[in-house]
Amino acid sequence: MSNMPQNKLFDFNLTTLIVGMGGTGLSCARYLQTQNCQFSIADSRAEPNNLIVVKNEFPEIEILTGIFDLEVFKHYQQIIVSPGVSIRSNLFNRLAEQGCFILGDIELFAQVVDKPVIAITGSNGKSTVTTLVEKIANECGIKTIAGGNLGIPALDLLSSNSDLYVLELSSFQLETTYSLQTLSATVLNISEDHMDRYRDLDDYRQVKETIYDNTDYAIVNYDEQKIFSNIKKQCLELDKEILLFGYGLAKKENLMDCSYPLFYLQDNKFLYHDQQFIMTTEDIKIKGTFNYLNVLAALALLVPLQLDKNKQYRAIKQYNGLEHRCEWVSDIEHISFYNDSKGTNTGATIAAIQAFDELEQVILIAGGVGKGANFDDLGKVIRNKVKATILLGTDADKIKNSALKLGAKKESFYPVASMSEAVFVAKSLAKIGDVILFSPACASFDRYQNYMQRGDDFKKCVLSLQEEIKHVS
């Protein structure tokens, strides 16, 4: 299916099948209803969470629940597939071979949107960059709204009548997107994620890179050398009229290459655009090297709009970051607690750990469902930078074993059975000046509905502990 691009026009006169009854499926159903397009909706679950909602809102439509059936699906000439449903299956391969137009909500959005779009993907940092671009553009007087994989489904954005759309896109959404034209686009970074759905890291990377297929400005992290060389090669071979902008750390080899504009971070303290100073990292509220690079990515994405620089920089300095992403929760007896529940893969957790100063001792709380990830890179960071590791969840032992084989000390690991126990044990191990970081490196669905619920539980446990200590003292 991934090798079968489907550049077709959606036909609102054809009865359509929507696959998936989650937030994306509901968004598609509501949009098709406004366009007087006939549709049915399917979900592999016998009792989907939104089944009652669908029956109430769309009493006349056909609802298909349970195991997907090729004999039923093949009667539909176009099928909108929610990102939670993999199209890498025999069912969807056979449907595509028979001429069925298989698309996602982003592709439908792409075919009807009539305003500029900025698109962002990557393993980590997508939501921060997406919301930061939205904030900067709005502060500069452009009516902008963000959504897609973050917050508001793409088709729901259209009713805002905005002048600029900013889309966070997952690899799953990109698999069913073929014609999205973007003003600028970026792949922020690549690390192992969703390895239960992709053959290997290259397979995952290639899907991410499709975000550059129809862009005017390709914004590329030049520390991601494989992506950078791939995009430069494509531009040369296909003679595409794409403006290439790079951003990343100030390395000698990057600064010497003057064939493209650079946004770079110098000495982890100073942000530059080519030779022009932007601001110091002290001016930025969201901390850590990865966040400073996120700021540079946001600025690069907005280059084609030629916005007022002072207004852009003011917006950046006012930006407080996002909940569940290295979010400060509380200081208890001079020990800082941070909630990074959105750290659902190893790359995110590594970045979160490395965001803290060398003088700050990190106690890590991690674990959950690893989605087939290799934890060796995280194991190295645990060995080198983590004082103690509190582990819970399905794949806790996989994280521990990876770190142990790479030289971490056995006595630095503490298995726990609950979040409250994790917080209590972490606090008991901490000393003044230490950081307790909840960054799971795993998905949440072994214990929670989503990473937000998981992060809220962590914060609740921290604040409960704080109250207990107040009463004791």
Q: How far apart are CA 439 and CA 369, in angstroms?
A: 13
- Other beta carbons less than 10 A from residue 287's beta carbon: 16
To the nearest whole number, what is the mean pLDDT of the chain? 92
- Other beta carbons less than 10 A from residue 275's beta carbon: 7
Which pLDDT score, from 0 to 100, does residue 364 have?
A: 98
From the candidates 50, 124, 189, 194, which is the catalytic residue?
A: 194
Write out the H or E segment, with its range, that includes residue 355.
none
- Condensed to tens digits (0 to 9), the pLDDT of residues 90-126 reads 999 999 999 999 999 999 999 999 999 999 999 888 9
Pick from 422, 369, 418, 423: nearest CA to 397:
369
CATH number for region 107-318: 3.40.1190.10
1-5, 331-335, 456-460: lowest mean pLDDT where? 1-5
**Mean pLDDT, range 367-394, rounded to an integer:** 95
Q: Active site includes 405?
A: no
Q: Active site includes 3?
A: no
| Per-residue confidence band for 239, with pLDDT thresholds at 50, 70 and 90 | low
Q: How far apart are CA 425 and CA 119, in angstroms?
A: 41
Which pLDDT score, from 0 to 100, does residue 195 have?
A: 64
**Sheet hosting strand 243-249, strand order edge to edge:** 144-148, 164-168, 117-121, 182-187, 215-221, 243-249, 262-266, 270-273, 276-280
In angstroms, the Cα distances linking 389 to 109, 288, 386, 420 are: 44, 21, 7, 15
Which pLDDT score, from 0 to 100, does residue 174 have?
A: 97
CATH number for region 16-103: 3.40.50.720
Q: How far apart are CA 287 and CA 352, in angstroms?
A: 10
- Condensed to tens digits (0 to 9), the pLDDT of residues 274-315 reads 889 999 998 988 888 889 999 999 999 999 999 999 999 999
pLDDT > 80? residue 238: no
Q: How far apart are CA 465 and CA 426, in angstroms?
A: 11
Judge whether 28 and 80 are in contact, CB under 8 Å. yes
Task: Report the topology of domain 327-466.
Answer: Protein-Tyrosine Phosphatase; Chain A (3.90.190)
| Per-residue confidence band for 2, with pLDDT thresholds at 50, 70 and 90 | very low
In angstroms, the Cα distances linking 255 to 220, 264, 289 are: 15, 9, 18
pLDDT > 60? residue 258: no
pLDDT > 80? residue 5: no
**Mean pLDDT, range 70-78, rounded to an integer:** 96
Q: How far apart are CA 323 and CA 438, in angstroms?
A: 13
Judge whether 207 and 175 are in contact, CB under 8 Å. yes
Q: Which residues face 148 on adjacent strands?
A: 168
DSSP secondary structure letter of residue 348 = H
User: pTM for this structure?
Assistant: 0.80
From the candidates 149, 221, 254, 291, which is the catalytic residue?
A: 149
- Condensed to tens digits (0 to 9), the pLDDT of residues 214-233 reads 999 999 998 888 998 888 88
Look at 326 and 405; give whichever has higher pLDDT: 405
According to the per-residue pLDDT averaged within each range, which of 13-27, 286-300, 354-368 is highest?
13-27
246-260, 316-330, 347-361: lowest mean pLDDT where? 246-260
Judge whether 422 and 390 are in contact, CB under 8 Å. yes
The domain spans of the chain are 16-103, 107-318, 327-466
- Condensed to tens digits (0 to 9), the pLDDT of residues 440-468 reads 999 998 999 999 999 999 999 999 999 99
Q: How far apart are CA 25 and CA 90, in angstroms?
A: 22
From the candidates 126, 135, 232, 400, which is the catalytic residue?
A: 126
Q: How far apart are CA 294 and CA 296, in angstroms?
A: 5
- Other beta carbons less than 10 A from residue 387's beta carbon: 18
pLDDT > 50? residue 252: yes
Contacts of 471 (CB under 8 A, 6+ apart): none
Q: How far apart are CA 237 and CA 230, in angstroms?
A: 10
Judge whether 307 and 283 are in contact, CB under 8 Å. no
- Other beta carbons less than 10 A from residue 197's beta carbon: 16
> In the block, which residue shows the tokens 């901490």?
430
Q: Active site includes 194?
A: yes
Q: Which residues face 390 on adjacent strands?
A: 365, 414
> In the block, which residue shows the tokens 């968004």?
27
Pick from 194, 34, 169, 198: nearest CA to 104:
169
Q: What tokens appear for 159 in the block?
A: 């009713």
**Mean pLDDT, range 150-156, rounded to an integer:** 95
Judge whether 125 and 168 are in contact, CB under 8 Å. no
| Per-residue confidence band for 194, with pLDDT thresholds at 50, 70 and 90 | low
